[in-house]
Structure 1
Amino acid sequence: MSINRESDIAANLQIGPTTLGMVRLYVEAEGVDLPLDFDPEEAEEIAEELRTAAAQARKMSAGKGKKGTK
């Protein structure tokens, strides 16, 4: 599976702080429960990467006349 390949797999994503001061991304899909813990600095880096990717995706979809979906 690559980043640019579509998939029919549905998953739930939860994001929040833990009692230990970490930021947890929790991915739940059929047969998968995956908690991913990051320190706050790492979480901020991930957030910036998400913002950058979102901006790039907007530019790509704008060139095709499509609007992204959530």
Structure 2
Amino acid sequence: MGINSESEVAANLQIGPTDQGMVRIYVEGTGVDLPLDFDPEEAEEIAEELMAAAEAAREIAGGGNKKGGKAGAGKGKPRR
């Protein structure tokens, strides 16, 4: 499965700091329980990549406007 493959998989996504000074991205879904820990610098790099991908997706979709908001639940979309 790649970036452009659609999926019917639904998952919950949680992001937050750990008591060890790491940033955890936690993915939970059917048959998946995946805690991913990153040091703060790595987390900032991931955040930059997410922002760049969001901007590229807006360009592909034909809309250049910046919208705020949170990821929602839905088919193949993680929720927070």
The number of residues matched between the two structures is 65
TM-score of the two chains, using structure 1 as the length reference:
0.88
Instruction: Please state whether the residue corresponding to 2:2 is helix, strand or coil.
Output: coil
Offset of residue 62 of structure 1:
1.1
Which residue of structure 2 lines up, in the alignment, with residue 66 of structure 1? none
The amino acid of 1:33's aligned partner reads D
From the CA coordinates, give the structure whose radius of gyration is larger: 1
Which residue of structure 1 lines up, in the alignment, with residue 61 of structure 2? 61
> Structure 1 segments of 4 or more deviating over 2 A?
none
**Cα distance per residue 1:12-54 (max 9 Å; x no partner):** 0000000000000000010110000000000000000000000
Q: Please, what is the CA RMSD of the aligned residues?
A: 1.4
- In structure 1, list runs of 5 or more residues that go unmatched: 64-68
TM-score of the two chains, using structure 2 as the length reference:
0.77
In 1, Cα distance between the equivalents of 2:6 and 2:31? Answer: 19
Which residue of structure 2 lines up, in the alignment, with residue 47 of structure 1? 47
Question: After the TM superposition, which residues 1-70 of structure 1 pair with which residues of structure 2 at under 5 Å, given as runs?
Answer: 1-62=1-62, 70=72
Q: Percent identity?
A: 71
Of Structure 1 and Structure 2, which has the larger fraction of its residues in helix?
Answer: 1
